[in-house]
Amino acid sequence: MMVYVQGVNSGSLRNTRVMSDGSEIKNIFKPGQAFLKGVDTPHYSENVGNKPTILWVTVTSAEDMPTTVFLD
């Protein structure tokens, strides 16, 4: 999954990856930046700007394979 933070009129996005030992790795992506979301690490994202964050998301997958797995 590729995520692009729109470069105009958009806030910033904090992406947090939760590692197997419970620690967290946090990155902030500003307007105009993009990143790849990993498939083997739980993660969550949140808006950290003063305005709405606008994202463009591209996903590729094999037929009948889920693109998202939700954790309890």
Task: Count CB-CB contacts under 10 A for residue 5.
Answer: 22
Q: What is the pLDDT of residues 10-44, one digit of tens each?
A: 999 999 999 999 999 999 999 999 998 877 788 89
Of 20, 8, 11, residue with least CA distance to 45? 11
Q: What is the pTM of this model?
A: 0.78
- Predicted confidence at residue 62, as pLDDT, reads 81
Phi-psi region of 22 (alpha: psi -120 to 50; beta: other; left: phi over 0): left
